[in-house]
Amino acid sequence: MLRWRKVVEVVPHTNGVADVLPGEARVLEAAQRSLSGERHGLRALWPFLGPAFIAAVAYVDPGNFATNFAGGAKFGYLLVWVVVVSNLMAMLIQTLSAKLGIATGMNLPEVCRARFGRRPTFLLWLQAEAIAMATDLAEFIGAALGLHLLFGIPLFPAALLTGVAAFGILALQAHGFRKLEAAIAGLVGVIVAGFAFEVFIAKPSASGAASGLIPGFDGSESVLLAAGILGATVMPHVIYLHSALTQHRVVGDNPREKQRILRFERVDVIIAMIIAGVINLSMLLVGAAVFHASGQTDISSLDDVYRGLGEQLGQHADAVFGIALLASGLSSSSVGTMAGQVVMQGFIHRRIPLFLRRTITMAPALVIIAIGVNASAALVLSQVVLSFGIPFALIPLVLFTRDRSLMGELVNRRLTSVVAWVVAAVIVALNVVLLALTITG
């Protein structure tokens, strides 16, 4: 018998259709028909879409705006390959995370607590909380900047309004996960439409974009930006979160059901990550076509991007950018709060109300804004910090998903584990190079 539990809950609490909201019950019934073979094609896939779209929000957060536009403006199409490779890495990583939740019924932090000793688990929790702070900084500042650019509201009041809006999005969880997923998908749709418009009027060079698929760097600054793009694309906190989104959503009672759930979830991941990748690539291409091509290679702040798009492209390109930035900040801040709750509950078995956590985690961003630190510079730095947190989530994930005693029939194939270890090695190596360049530079 297939089971269902609310996506935003970390601790199992219900076992059947009768215990969930009416909308969730209908989706569960549709999922049962999909797994039994009664539904086919898109109708079979539909009940399983959602977790990857929530995770994908983190891949188009305001930090991506900062790093992608900075990379495009400074180096043109040079770093296109970084965006593409990062997105392919994200597909693999998020699939592994989703698979862990489906196979074990636990999220990644919970498995860490069960498999590692008290001290390693505590240290992993501390670094995860530091990463969560960097994530919140990027997302909260980005939404505040969007309000500031669009309406001229000073940054601090804009930040307070952002907090109110984030509370509103989080409140949707009380009405079921589908309403939350729909709200987040709608905000992602705003971002997609915004950058489709920007690309259409910016007309980036197809040959330039193709040349950027050849891997290469141009000095230490390009490596720094590449690490920032990687940190903004492969997000540590959603590696933790995705396993929680699948662990209790649709629960298979036997290996066959789990295998079918995983196949549907792979499609969910591919669709969501392609959308996120196209958005990220669009940002870099617009930055290259508008700023690098006109010699404005020193564009480093989102304020400059906003003004430059308006001056260079017209047609309200600046307003469209501001709306997309605002949608990104609002959606990703809510997802970041959910990830923070998973981290705390999983590693140290402590839970606090989501609204209290949102209040606590917005405090650093409010302080940054209040003391007048350059918001765009803080965004780029936060993405570099995020890139250092990836190995601490990724390495345990690969270790666990290759363990047959834990994963059962959903254990990684040998090739999958090899590719995952190569991805982890590349990320660690890039971060070592980045650290050396930072110290010597």
Q: List % helix, strand, coil for the chain (3-state, nearest 5).
A: 80, 0, 20
**Beta-strand relationship, 3-4 and 250-251:** antiparallel
Residue 401 structure tokens = 């998903």
**Measuring CA to CA, which residue among 199, 235, 198 is closest to residue 332?**
235
Q: Look up residue 289 and give its DSSP letter.
A: I
Tens digits of pLDDT across the chain (441 residues): 455 444 334 333 333 433 444 456 677 777 777 887 778 777 788 778 888 888 888 888 887 888 899 999 999 999 999 999 999 999 999 999 999 999 999 999 999 999 998 899 999 999 888 887 777 777 788 888 899 999 999 888 988 888 888 778 877 776 666 777 788 888 999 999 999 999 999 999 999 999 999 998 888 888 888 877 876 677 788 899 999 988 877 887 788 888 989 999 999 999 999 999 999 999 999 999 999 999 998 887 888 999 999 999 988 999 999 999 999 988 888 788 788 888 888 898 877 776 777 677 777 778 877 887 777 677 666 766 777 788 899 999 999 999 999 999 999 999 999 999 998 888 878 777 766 766 665
Alpha-carbon span 308 to 288, nearest angstrom? 12
Q: What is the dihedral of CA 149, 153, 158, 164, to 10 degrees?
A: -110
- Say if residue 371 is exposed, middle or buried (CB neighbours under 10 Å; 0-12, 13-18, 19+): exposed
Spatial neighbors of 326 by CB under 8 A, at least 6 apart, are 143, 146, 147, 150
Residue 170 structure tokens = 């989080």
Which domains, and CATH codes, for the chain?
48-440 (1.20.1740.10)
Helix (H, G, I), strand (E, B) or coil at 296: coil
